[in-house]
Amino acid sequence: MTGASEPELAVGADALSQQGAGLEIAIVGAGAVGATAAYDLVREGADVILYDRDDVASGSSGRAAGICYDAFADDFDAEIGGEAIERFRALSGDDTFSFVECPYVWLARDGDPTRADAIREQVRRMQENGTVVFEMDDGALADRFPALRTDDIELAGVASAAGYADPTAYTACLAFAAAGAGATLETDTAVSIRTDPPRVVQPDGSTREFDAVLVAAGAHTAALVADAGAALAMKPYRVQALVADVDFLAPMCYDATGGFYLRPHTDGILAGDGTENREADPTGYDPDADPAFADDLLERIAHRVPSVGSAGDARLERAWAGLCTATPDRDPLVGAVRDGLYVATGFQGHGFMRAPAIGRRLADEILGGSGIDAFDPTRFDGDEDFDVVEGLALDPN
């Protein structure tokens, strides 16, 4: 955790610019991206209303793992990842939220040459991007991280510029900082969207026009903008995670062969798996973990973290399911889909870790700046047929 928060969180009136003065902007979805965009927009002088059908961080952000890293092979992804990490550091502090520096390890086991080759290629490209990342074999990994079992590892990548945060704490911090700077927070308010001009329809049927509307409502985004005549190439999919009382300090780890991730947590260890590679219904999915999920995952974690096995059966604190969103090319949909209508979705499970950068860039675009060309949501027609692929899956190409 950093020693002091970034000065920008001291949101007195004299800290606000006038770039957005006179603009009225609605944001639908008080998750990490929506709250960040609201915060950045109101600091530019815009009149912002942040809506959520439930409460702040009540959706995917509140069920996220909180893992943050800049270990991306693509040039632009690495830029976004690095920007987000730096802002997590800058915004965190004793009075805001905690960002805990922690290395990130992703590995392939013996007998998995395809994933080992993918890691080797990823590390090479990340180093070309200037990312601080290293390739390690089982011996070097054992010396660096004795908490992990390493005798079955073919190859690992280790990213130093990484850490974790509580997604709910981050989101609440940015949402309430936005409110403190003048934004209006409208929770428990299920709205619908219309365009020409951009407007929000309240639960009582009343309508309010805005200069721009941003929909950052996770798995619900596609349905919301469909009411406004826009189609998105996005599919929600269900994921599962747990927290267990296990003595574990570091590092964060993704076992690509085993198909699970883990990180330290204040209650012990947070781990996830259970990705369902099929489309889920965002209004009818089961938010509780499957009955066999926790026992199965804890058994596999024990293979990678010896302290779990030596301690016997780990005590399960809680387990849950959430929704991630997939796109045909595994890149998010961020930007304008109609005049005055913007979206942010399709993050493949990487939405929280990118939120500080994506929220700020979205705010800039809404205020007239350049968009994120690589993530332009109109690059698809919206009716594409594609398979759901989990965000952590290694791409061997």
CATH number of the domain at 58, please. 3.50.50.60
Shared domain check, 322 and 263 = yes
- Cα–Cα distance measured from residue 244 to residue 236, given in angstroms and rounded to the nearest whole number: 26
- Residue in the block written with tokens 């949101």: 11
Write the pLDDT tens digit of every residue in 196-246: 999 999 999 999 999 999 999 999 999 999 999 999 999 999 999 999 998
Shared domain check, 46 and 189 = yes
Write the pLDDT tens digit of every residue in 79-92: 999 999 999 999 99
Write the pLDDT tens digit of every residue in 19-73: 777 899 999 999 999 999 999 999 999 999 999 999 999 999 999 999 999 989 8
Are the C-beta atoms of 171 and 38 separated by less than 8 Å?
Answer: no
Residues 384, 385, 390, 395: is their CA dihedral positive or negative?
negative
- Cα–Cα distance measured from residue 392 to residue 395, given in angstroms and rounded to the nearest whole number: 9
13 pLDDT band, cuts 50/70/90, is very low
Shared domain check, 258 and 311 = yes
Contacts (Cβ under 8 Å, ≥6 apart) of 255: 107, 109, 261, 300, 304
Burial of 149 (0-12, 13-18, 19+ CB in 10 A): middle
- Reduced to 3 states (helix: H, G, I; strand: E, B; else coil), residue 374 is helix
Burial of 245 (0-12, 13-18, 19+ CB in 10 A): middle
pLDDT for the residue numbered 396? 45
- Cα–Cα distance measured from residue 257 to residue 267, given in angstroms and rounded to the nearest whole number: 26
β strands within 246-361, DSSP E: 252-255, 260-265, 268-273, 315-326, 333-338, 341-345
pLDDT for the residue numbered 129? 85
Write the pLDDT tens digit of every residue in 276-304: 889 999 999 999 999 999 999 999 999 99
Q: Which two tokens stand for residue 79?
A: 């830029």
Residue 179, domain member (yes or no) = yes
Shared domain check, 178 and 157 = no
In DSSP terms, 209 is beta-bridged to 199
Are the C-beta atoms of 175 and 38 separated by less than 8 Å?
Answer: yes
Shared domain check, 305 and 195 = no
Shared domain check, 295 and 201 = no
16 pLDDT band, cuts 50/70/90, is low
395 pLDDT band, cuts 50/70/90, is low
- Cα–Cα distance measured from residue 221 to residue 214, given in angstroms and rounded to the nearest whole number: 10
Are the C-beta atoms of 245 and 315 separated by less than 8 Å?
Answer: yes
Are the C-beta atoms of 225 and 343 separated by less than 8 Å?
Answer: yes
Residue 309 domain boundaries: 103-161+235-326
Write the pLDDT tens digit of every residue in 150-204: 999 999 999 999 999 999 999 999 999 999 999 999 999 999 999 999 999 999 9
Residue 128, domain member (yes or no) = yes
- Cα–Cα distance measured from residue 262 to residue 307, given in angstroms and rounded to the nearest whole number: 14
Give the end of a domain, one of 264, 297, 326.
Answer: 326
Contacts (Cβ under 8 Å, ≥6 apart) of 335: 342, 343, 362, 365, 371, 372, 375, 376, 377, 378
Residue 388, domain member (yes or no) = no
Residue 391, domain member (yes or no) = no
pLDDT for the residue numbered 391? 77
pLDDT for the residue numbered 249? 83
Q: Which two tokens stand for residue 97?
A: 């939220």
- Cα–Cα distance measured from residue 196 to residue 309, given in angstroms and rounded to the nearest whole number: 60
**Hey, what amino acid is at 186?**
E
Shared domain check, 334 and 206 = yes
312 pLDDT band, cuts 50/70/90, is low
Shared domain check, 334 and 217 = yes
Write the pLDDT tens digit of every residue in 258-275: 999 999 999 999 999 878
Residue 384, domain member (yes or no) = no
- Does the pLDDT of residue 5 top 70, yes or no? no
Residue 204, domain member (yes or no) = yes
Q: What is the DSSP string of 58-87?
A: -STGGGS--EEE---SSHHHHHHHHHHHHH
Shared domain check, 305 and 174 = no
Residue 390, domain member (yes or no) = no
Q: Total domain count for the chain?
A: 2
Shared domain check, 248 and 139 = yes
Shared domain check, 137 and 223 = no
Shared domain check, 196 and 141 = no
Write the pLDDT tens digit of every residue in 328-352: 999 999 999 999 999 999 999 999 9
Per the prediction, the chain carries an average pLDDT of 92
Residue 122, domain member (yes or no) = yes
- Does the pLDDT of residue 2 top 70, yes or no? no
- Reduced to 3 states (helix: H, G, I; strand: E, B; else coil), residue 157 is strand
CATH number of the domain at 260, please. 3.30.9.10
- Does the pLDDT of residue 15 top 80, yes or no? no
